[in-house]
């Protein structure tokens, strides 16, 4: 499974290096990358680094500013195995389809995961009432049960408006 870890912002220099906006919560993952996928094509990583909150990638086959420019705004994805997750860690994307429980009652399902730069948001399809976006934060999420595929919300989590 491919996981999004960043977005190509722009070329850096004349040799095709890419400046990446990091969207994954552990920037150090960029230091050990062997390959990445951009726009359904896999590239080998020649060199990578993290500086001042951005990642910089040099990829095989991207040797000029013109080639790098074609990759602007592309989502950088890696195989989930490259993330070296701990046994008890899960990816937010694994929670799509989970039942959502609030105050002991099933109210809907996790429809998608959105990231607007400040962290992940769960888009919850609330049964018969539309959708609500909730941040993936302890203030809103009381429990994630991987056995029952259930996301349990805190009592005050749904004080937000439905969209």
Is pTM beyond 0.85? Reply is no
**77 and 7 within one domain:** yes
Domain boundaries, position 123: 92-159
**Cβ neighbours, 10 Å, residue 136:** 17
Last residue of one domain, picked from the residues 62, 83, 104 = 83
Q: What is the pLDDT of residue 163?
A: 46
Last residue of one domain, picked from the residues 53, 83, 113 = 83
What are the 10-residue block averages of pLDDT along the chain, 163 residues in total? 90 96 87 93 96 96 97 93 81 87 94 79 89 89 92 84 47
**61 and 20 within one domain:** yes
Q: Which two tokens stand for residue 123?
A: 């888009």
Q: What is the pLDDT of residue 100?
A: 95
Last residue of one domain, picked from the residues 57, 83, 109 = 83
């Amino acid at each position: 499974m491919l996981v999004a870890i960043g977005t190509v912002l722009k070329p850096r220099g004349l040799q095709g290096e890419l400046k990446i906006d990091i969207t994954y919560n552990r920037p150090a993952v960029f230091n050990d990358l062997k390959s990445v996928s951009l726009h359904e094509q896999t590239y080998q990583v020649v060199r990578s680094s993290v500086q001042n909150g951005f990642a910089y990638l040099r990829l095989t086959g991207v040797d000029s500013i013109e080639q790098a420019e074609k990759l602007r705004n592309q989502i950088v994805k890696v195989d989930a195995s490259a993330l070296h997750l701990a046994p008890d860690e899960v990816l937010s994307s694994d929670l799509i389809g989970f039942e959502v429980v609030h105050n002991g009652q099933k109210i809907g399902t996790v429809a998608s995961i959105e990231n607007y730069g400040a962290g992940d948001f769960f888009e919850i399809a609330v049964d018969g009432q539309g959708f609500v976006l909730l941040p993936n934060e302890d203030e809103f999420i009381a429990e994630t049960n991987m056995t029952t595929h259930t996301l349990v919300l805190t009592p005050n989590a749904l004080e937000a408006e439905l969209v």
